[in-house]
Structure 1
Amino acid sequence: MMLANLLLAAVLAAPLASAPDATARAKVLMRAGDATQPQARVLFEQDARQGSGAAAYYLGLMFKNGMGGPQDGAAALRWLELAAQRGVAPAMFIVANMLADTDEARARLWLDAACDLEYPEALQQKSAALAEGLMGYAHSEEQSFLYLKMATHAMGHRAAEP
């Protein structure tokens, strides 16, 4: 806890313009608690508008979970889909799940994209969908087993968080 307070104090003391990585600063603020989350939203949005997929991902999560301001599912989906378009695998997975009940084709597109990047949770979910014939995938025990095997392998070399 003491280390977290020291890190927060260092982040808050640094001028915004001189921050070498605004997304990293915003992540510290987001995790520091309710008082600093609105500032994290602002930093994430600035960085996302400048092209950061990671910033768009975290901003989407903040809107989805009501962190630093009101919960807003539509804004969450917009930011998370932008992050997905920028290649952020966890965003692809979340977008697939957010769309599963309303737009199965787009949900499948994002789930498949996350699988292509070997995102373990996506591989597991596709395995289950294939086993049950859900999300528009044809029932296939063989393909289901293959995706489960791929998910198990991917767990061993998980990519760092965005």
Structure 2
Amino acid sequence: MMKATIQQITHTNKEQFENLFNYYLYELSAYSQEDIGTEGTFEMEDISPYYRDGRLYPYFITINEKIVGFILVTSPPYVAEAVDYSVQELFVLPKYRGTNIAKDAVLQIFKLYSGRYEVGMFKSNLKAVKFWTKLISALEIPVSVEDGIVEIGGNVLQTSGMKFTVACESICN
């Protein structure tokens, strides 16, 4: 069985991060309804704060030193009130899905950063909704779920947000 590790994204590997992020946006476009820009790529907001701002925690997910995805975690002021951390983005290349790699990565994040979490997703992204629901329930963590809406490029999209608290005692064994 493949064991995932997480490796911090820094300025030195920003190019791999930006390239991989465009694949992520491509995949997310099924839910966000976004179109590509004039250069044939998705218009990316500036993601450099992820490796410049100490309140953001970006990690590549790797298997045997090979990058297979990323997990991006934010903390105040980039999160809602009464929230310590948010798993903002989680992406694993299609070839590696269904192998517990995402779960491994999330558990490593939870071990590093205990506290009150919020995770948001598009309601139509059933795989993401199922992943988070199954993971949080397997960890037997109480969760509150709130539905919301977000507007992206004139499209109003339904979202689902989960709030829960991670304490190392419950998952570090």
TM-score, with normalisation over the residues of structure 2? 0.30
Query: More strand per residue: 1 or 2?
Result: 2
TM-score, reference length from structure 1: 0.31
Q: Which has the larger radius of gyration?
A: 1
Pick the structure with more helix per residue.
Answer: 1
